[in-house]
């Protein structure tokens, strides 16, 4: 017959093992949550950078509406290495500087730009829209789309800019857009 203290020692050891297994699963869950939080924090940082760059190019376009065609002709922006924009003027300089911002020139690590979104690019296209609220006049302007590669799949953006540029799954593409009115065609 077994001793009572030997049985209680065995059940105590079993309780300790069950507790260790439960704690292990809990710690794995916390580690997974921590990794997901890191991805979401990085995605948030990228979106904030995209908003800053989008506002910058929108302000440049709004301050130089006569050069709308030049901005659209420079599209798409981004990709490649940082460029020297010092010899350029007007819309060409704006496009070059925006391209550098998309390449991360706002923050550097050595000679590499790291202050922007992953594989960012901008597309600038002309639009004409009829507004019934403004006496049926045609409003002309530029549509500015900024796209980049996210870290986890979401809904595929409606913007055509950069479609399928980030692999077979377009759900990794992120996009933000704005429109800048550059004139009233009076049609």
Per-residue confidence band for 79, with pLDDT thresholds at 50, 70 and 90: confident
Please report whether residue 99 resides in a domain: no
Mean pLDDT confidence for 16-45: 93
Please report whether residue 147 resides in a domain: yes
- pLDDT greater than 90 at residue 181: no
Per-residue confidence band for 129, with pLDDT thresholds at 50, 70 and 90: confident
- Please report the pLDDT score of residue 109 as a whole number: 72
Please report whether residue 104 resides in a domain: no
Q: Give the total number of structural domains in the chain.
A: 1
- Please report the pLDDT score of residue 132 as a whole number: 53
Please report whether residue 23 resides in a domain: yes
- pTM of the predicted model over 0.85: no
Please report whether residue 136 resides in a domain: yes
- Please report the pLDDT score of residue 186 as a whole number: 57
Please report whether residue 72 resides in a domain: no
Show the domain range for 136: 4-66+117-184
Per-residue burial over 113-122, b = 16 or more CB atoms within 10 Å of its CB, e = otherwise: bebbbebbbb
- pLDDT greater than 60 at residue 187: no
Largest CA distance in the chain: 103
Please report whether residue 129 resides in a domain: yes
Backbone angles phi, psi at 46, to 5 degrees: -65, -45
- pLDDT greater than 60 at residue 2: no
Please report whether residue 110 resides in a domain: no
Q: How many Å apart are CA 79 and CA 124, to the nearest integer?
A: 15
Query: 110-122 pLDDT, tens per residue?
Result: 766 667 788 899 9
With a pLDDT cut of 70, the percent of the chain lying above it is 86
- pLDDT greater than 60 at residue 134: no
Mean pLDDT confidence for 72-87: 87
């Amino acid at each position: 017959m077994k001793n009572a203290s030997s049985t209680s020692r065995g059940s105590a050891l079993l309780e300790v093992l069950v507790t260790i297994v439960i704690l292990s699963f809990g710690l794995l869950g916390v580690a997974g949550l921590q990794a997901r939080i890191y991805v979401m924090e990085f995605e948030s940082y990228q979106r904030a950078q995209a908003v800053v760059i989008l506002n910058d190019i929108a302000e440049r376009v709004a301050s130089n509406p006569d050069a709308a065609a030049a901005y659209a002709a420079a599209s798409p922006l981004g990709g490649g290495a940082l460029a020297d924009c010092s010899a350029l003027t007007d819309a060409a300089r704006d496009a070059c500087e925006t391209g550098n911002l998309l390449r991360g020139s706002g923050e550097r690590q050595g000679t590499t730009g790291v202050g922007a979104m992953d594989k960012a690019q901008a597309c600038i296209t002309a639009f004409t829209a009829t507004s019934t609220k403004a006496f049926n006049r045609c409003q002309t302007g530029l549509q500015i789309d900024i796209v980049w590669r996210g870290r986890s799949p979401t809904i595929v953006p409606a913007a055509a800019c950069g479609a399928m540029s980030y692999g077979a799954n377009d759900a990794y593409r992120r996009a933000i857009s704005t429109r800048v009115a550059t004139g009233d065609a009076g049609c």
